[in-house]
Amino acid sequence: VVSLRLSKTIVLVGLMGAGKTTVGRRLATRLGLSFVDADAEIETAAGRSITEIFEDFGEAEFRKGERSVITRLLKGRPLVLATGGGAFMDPKTRARIKDIGISVWLKADIPLLVERVGRRNTRPLLRTGDPREILTRLAAERYPVYAEADITVESGGGPHDEVVEDIIAAL
C-alpha cells in the first residue's frame, strides 16, 4: 500500500472492456481505499441487472439512475469508483465527476476491447449488432470527451498491474 493521502474519489472512465473494474479493484487495494463499481451499485439500487434496466425502462432512465448513484457516491468518503462507459458522456454526470473527483481515462485500442468484451457479451449496447462496429462508433463519439479526464493512461493489453502503477505515478 502506498501512502498517498487522497481526499478525492478516483473515477475510472473509458469504454467497455478497458479494464475499469479489474484495474479499479487493484488500484483501491494499492491505495488502501474501498472500491465501488457504479454499475453494480445501480443494479443493487434497481433490483435488476443492467440488461433488465435497459429492457424494462430504456437507456434514458438508466442514465438518470446512473447519475444519481454516481452523485451519491461522489459525496461520500474517497473511493476508487469504476463507472460504466457512458457515464462520463452525460454532461451532468461528467460535471460532477470533474468537480468532485479525479478522473482517469483507461484508453485502449478497439481490437483489445473487442477481444475482452467478446468473452462475455452481457452489455446491452453491444447486443444490437457487431461489437467491433459498435465499439468503433462509440470510440469516435466518446474519445474526444474521455480526453477531458484529468489523467489518461494507456490500457494496452499488458498486465493490469502496470496500468495500476501508471495511474499511481500520475496522481
Assigned C-alpha cell, 88: 462520463
Looking at the Cβ atoms of 10 and 125, the one nearer to ligand S3P is 125
Q: Does 19 bind ligand S3P (CB under 6 A)?
A: no
Q: Minimum Å distance from CB 32 to ligand S3P?
A: 24
Looking at the Cβ atoms of 7 and 87, the one nearer to ligand S3P is 87
Among 19, 78, 86, 101, binds ligand S3P (CB under 6 A): 86
Phi, psi of 151 (to 5 degrees): -130, 140
Give the interface segment with ligand S3P, choosing from 24-32, 93-101, 123-131, 153-161 (CB under 6 A): 123-131
Q: Which amino acid is at 11?
A: V
The closest of 70, 92, 72, 91 to 82, measured between CA atoms, is 70
Q: Does 124 bind ligand S3P (CB under 6 A)?
A: yes
161: Cβ contacts below 8 Å, ≥ 6 apart: 26
Residue pointed to by grid coordinates 468503433: 136
Binding mask 129-168 for ligand S3P (x = CB under 6 A): ----------------------------------------
Q: Does 69 bind ligand S3P (CB under 6 A)?
A: no
DSSP string, 8-43: S-EEEE--TTS-HHHHHHHHHHHHT-EEEEHHHHHH
Rounded CA-CA distance 166/162 in Å is 6
Site for ligand S3P in 29-48 (CB under 6 A): 39
83 is in an annotated binding site: no
Q: How many other CB atoms are there within 10 angstroms of residue 126's CB atom?
A: 21
Among 84, 88, 106, 152, binds ligand S3P (CB under 6 A): 84
Q: Which residues are annotated as a binding site for substrate?
A: 39, 63, 85, 142
The binding site consists of: 17-22, 39, 63, 85, 123, 142
